[in-house]
Amino acid sequence: MRGPLAVALGILTAIGGFLDAGDLVTNAVVGSRFGLTLAWVVVMGVIGICVFAHMSGKVAAVSGRATFEIIRERLGPRAAGANLVASLAVTVLTLTAEIGGMALALQLASSVERRLWMPVAALAVWLVLWRVRFQVMENVTGLLGLTLIGFAVALYLLGPDWGELARQTLQPAVPPSEGAAVYWYFAIALLGAAMTPYEVFFFSSGGVEERWTVKDLATSRLNVFVGFPFGGVLSIAIAGCAAVVLLPLGIEVDAMSQIVLPVAQAGGPLLLAVVIVGLVSATTGAALETALSAGYTLSQYLGWSWGKFRRPAEAARFHVAMIVALVVAVGVLMTGVDPIAVTEYSVVFSAVALPLTYLPILVVANDPEYMGEHVNGRVLNAVGTLYLVILVVASAAAVPLMIVTEAGA
Amino acid sequence: MLVGVLAGTLTGCTPAGTRSDAANVLGSIVEHLEAASSAVATATLAVELHEQGRLPAVTTDAAVDDATLTVSEAVHGITTVVAPDAGTAGLRTTAIGAASAALGPVADVRTWLADGAPEGDDLRTALDEAATDLEAATTAVEQAEAAQ
Amino acid sequence: MIAGDLIDVEVRDADGERLGYVVDLRLVLDRPPEAGAVLAGARLHGLVVSPRTRTSFLGYERTSVRAPWPIAQLLRRRHRGSFLVHWPDVASVPSLDATRRGKGAIVVLRRGFDRYDPALT
The more confidently predicted of residues B120 and A379 is A379
What lies within 8 Å, CB to CB, of A284 at 6+ separation is A98, A102, A121, A124, A125, A141
- Cα(A103)–Cα(A117) distance, integer angstroms: 5
> Strands C106-109 and C10-12, how do they pair?
parallel
* ipTM of model: 0.90
The stretches of A159-197 forming alpha helices (DSSP H) are 162-170, 180-194
**Per-domain boundaries in chain A:** 4-404
Tell if the CB–CB gap between C71 and A385 is shorter than 8 Å: yes
- Give percent above pLDDT 70 in chain B: 86
Residues of chain A whose C-beta is under 8 A from some C-beta in B? 107-111, 245, 249-252, 254-258, 260-261, 264-265, 267-269, 272, 276, 345, 349, 352, 399-400, 402-403, 406-407, 409
Q: Name the domain count of chain C.
A: 1
Domain interval for residue C26 = 3-109
Tell if the CB–CB gap between B63 and A257 is shorter than 8 Å: yes
Beta bridge partners of C31: C41
Tens place of pLDDT for every residue, chain C, 121 residues? 788 788 888 899 889 888 999 988 898 888 777 777 777 778 889 999 999 888 878 888 887 788 788 888 888 888 888 999 999 988 888 877 777 777 778 888 888 888 888 888 7
Tell if the CB–CB gap between C55 and A79 is shorter than 8 Å: yes
Nearest CA in chain B to A276: B59
Nearest Cα to Cα of residue A69 among A198, A201, A209, A197: A201
Nearest Cα to Cα of residue A208 among A100, A376, A62: A62
User: CA angle, corner A361, sides to A360 and A367, nearest 5?
Assistant: 90
- Cα(A230)–Cα(A149) distance, integer angstroms: 10
Q: Nearest 5°: phi and psi at B36?
A: -65, -45
* Residue at C7 is within a domain: yes
Task: For chain A, list residues with pLDDT below 70.
Answer: 1-2
Determine the CATH number of domain A4-404. Answer: 1.20.1740.10
Confidence (pLDDT) at B7 = 62
The CATH number assigned to the domain holding C63 equals: 2.30.30.240
- Cα(B35)–Cα(A180) distance, integer angstroms: 20
**Per-domain boundaries in chain B:** 21-147
Confidence (pLDDT) at B4 = 59
Within 10 A of C5 (CB to CB), how many other CB atoms are there?
17
pLDDT in tens, A341-367: 999 999 999 999 999 888 888 988 998
Confidence (pLDDT) at A393 = 97
* Minimum distance, in Å, between the CA of residue A382 and any CA atom of chain C: 7
- Cα(A54)–Cα(A43) distance, integer angstroms: 16
Shortest CB distance from C71 goes to which of A77, A78, A362? A362
Shortest CB distance from A261 goes to which of B38, B45, B58? B45
Classify each residue of B71-104 as buried b or exposed e, where b means 16 or more C-beta atoms within 10 Å of its C-beta.
bbbbbebbeebebeeeebeebbebbbebbbbbbe
Determine the CATH number of domain B21-147. Answer: 1.20.120
Q: Is C85 exposed, middle or buried (0-12, 13-18, 19+ CB in 10 A)?
A: buried
* Residue at C63 is within a domain: yes
- Orientation angle between helical segments A339-364 and A180-194, nearest 10 degrees: 60
**Taking CB atoms and an 8 Å cut-off, how many pairs form between chains A and C?**
40
Cis peptide before B84 (omega within 30 of 0): no
Shortest CB distance from A385 goes to which of C4, C8, C70? C70
Confidence (pLDDT) at B13 = 52
Residue A242 near residue A266 (C-beta atoms within 8 A): no
Confidence (pLDDT) at C34 = 74
pLDDT in tens, B41-65: 999 999 999 999 999 999 999 999 9
